[in-house]
Amino acid sequence: MEWLPDSDPFIAPNRLHQFDYEFEVRTKGQHCKVIQNWGSDATQKSQVIDLPDHESWENWIRTLPFIRDGFSVDRLPENGFIIICVPRAEDVQLTNCAVPAAYTDIPIDKDCSESFEKILRAFHLPGHFPMLAVRRQTSMTSVARTHKFPEGPEGIWMHTASVNSDSNEHSFAMEATYFEKKKLTLAIMFCCSDDQVRHVRALVDLNHDAIGYPFLMLSIYIELQHERLAQMIRTRHTQFDNLMGERAFQEAKEMKDRFSWETIHKVRSTREAIRKVEVEVEATKLHAHKVLLDLQMLENSKDERLTRVTKTITERFNDIIMTLNGQSSKCRILVEDISFATDIMRSELSRQEAQTSAENARFATGIAFIAMIYLPLSTTATIFSMPIFQWSNDWRDSLYRPVDSGDTSNTGGSGGTPGSPVVSGYIWLYISITICLTVVTYAALKVYMKIWFSGQRTSILPQNSHKQQLSDYKSSS
């Protein structure tokens, strides 16, 4: 069980022990940032505060009475937001691989961890976030709660959101709590890059009506996720174009040769990466539809400003969902293109292997034919050399004339010339038997192959005849 059955996973205290801190910041210059804006000056540009060390954390906390003097709803600022942006921790380098950093890996040293935990307690963030971060799945949740603070009951909205971190491309997560009476949003964004920090600031500075709105952080999340997915699709499209434009691939496509399994592996890896993006796009669409259902509760509010902002954000969510439909179609088209290229390469590889097999078969046939010729020759010669046969010395020259058996090396006997070749007079018998054996061997092989193939066809004929009978029956009926 992730939490007790009688507890609220959102209201439950945050599991602080599940956040891991560094003994020191391994990436030089990496530090947390705060984007904040509230009060009557909320229409002005937001303020960005850097938190590079323990002293800066403490100095910032001193400016917030609800953290400095202990949490109190009455000390909360009004009509605004405080967003802490935590950068991504470095991956853990092991001997053989690197383990990607999790959302709960906080890249601040031990000296700053106490300050960070003070903020987590004071922000009253959803308690189930660490368990959500472990899943590494794309999700968006939003719930309304009434919490009994010491000052009295307070209506709050609690939000969590994360993206699938398997791709490790600008993945991020966030948790936020919105206090209705104070119209204040307190949030933390994890694994936030500098570009995303600038994007968040631009969003809150350009949309002042959203300041003090319950779904501010989910609106920011969907904007960042929308941009992230679009960038991932562009990256995958570029990878596919680069793969199709590789010199080895072009030469193989033009020459119908030299395709390798390595090329197939690259194409398949690209296809799987695009499919993962498509799955994430679909998951984002699903969760965006769920948030739209929550937004419907605010459309009929008595507060005209709240109703107006809700309609604006609802329209924006619908626009993003339509865009996500287009992105999903792009992913599907890319997957089909890559699948088509993969099928072509596989068929070409099969053709190459079949061609190689055919060449090997022809070579083996040639070897067998030569062996069939030489085998009777060697067999007959071996038999003739056996001592059970007594051949008389009947030597002949190249014109098959008798040669004196006393000198078979240099004379040709009567009518012979010195140095003429000398062979046995029984050479005609050796040649005749060899030719007969070769013909018999070839004929026996042909008969055997004919019988074997006819047997193979016979084993298939009953199925074919059954199909023919079934076809005749259907045509007659």
Q: How far is it, in rounded angstroms, from Cα 264 to Cα 345?
A: 7
Pick the closest to residue 9 from 158, 151, 224 (CA basis).
158
pLDDT of residue 459: 54
pLDDT at 138 > cutoff 60? yes
Q: How far is it, in rounded angstroms, from Cα 455 to Cα 461?
A: 10
How confident is the model over 457-476, as pLDDT tens digits?
Answer: 565 444 444 445 445 544 55
How confident is the model over 283-342, as pLDDT tens digits?
Answer: 999 999 999 988 888 877 778 888 889 999 999 999 999 999 998 888 888 888 777 776
% of the chain exceeding 90 in pLDDT: 23
Pick the closest to residue 414 from 422, 404, 406, 424 (CA basis).
404
Cβ–Cβ < 8 Å for 124, 156: yes
pLDDT at 4 > cutoff 50? no
- The pLDDT-based confidence of 404 (bands split at 50, 70, 90) is low
How confident is the model over 37-72, as pLDDT tens digits?
Answer: 988 655 678 999 999 888 999 999 999 999 988 888
pLDDT of residue 221: 94
Q: How far is it, in rounded angstroms, from Cα 93 to Cα 99?
A: 7
- The pLDDT-based confidence of 168 (bands split at 50, 70, 90) is low
- Strand pairing partners for 21? 106
Q: What angle do CA 81, 84, 85 make, to 5 degrees?
A: 130
Pick the closest to residue 334 from 284, 272, 285 (CA basis).
272
- The pLDDT-based confidence of 446 (bands split at 50, 70, 90) is confident
pLDDT at 416 > cutoff 60? no
H helix and E strand count, the chain: 10, 13
Pick the closest to residue 179 from 248, 78, 324 (CA basis).
78
The DSSP secondary structure of 169-180, one letter per residue, reads: SS--EEEEEEET
How confident is the model over 84-113, as pLDDT tens digits?
Answer: 999 988 877 777 777 778 888 888 877 788
Cβ–Cβ < 8 Å for 233, 64: no
- Bridging pattern class, strands 395-396 and 423-424: antiparallel
pLDDT of residue 467: 46
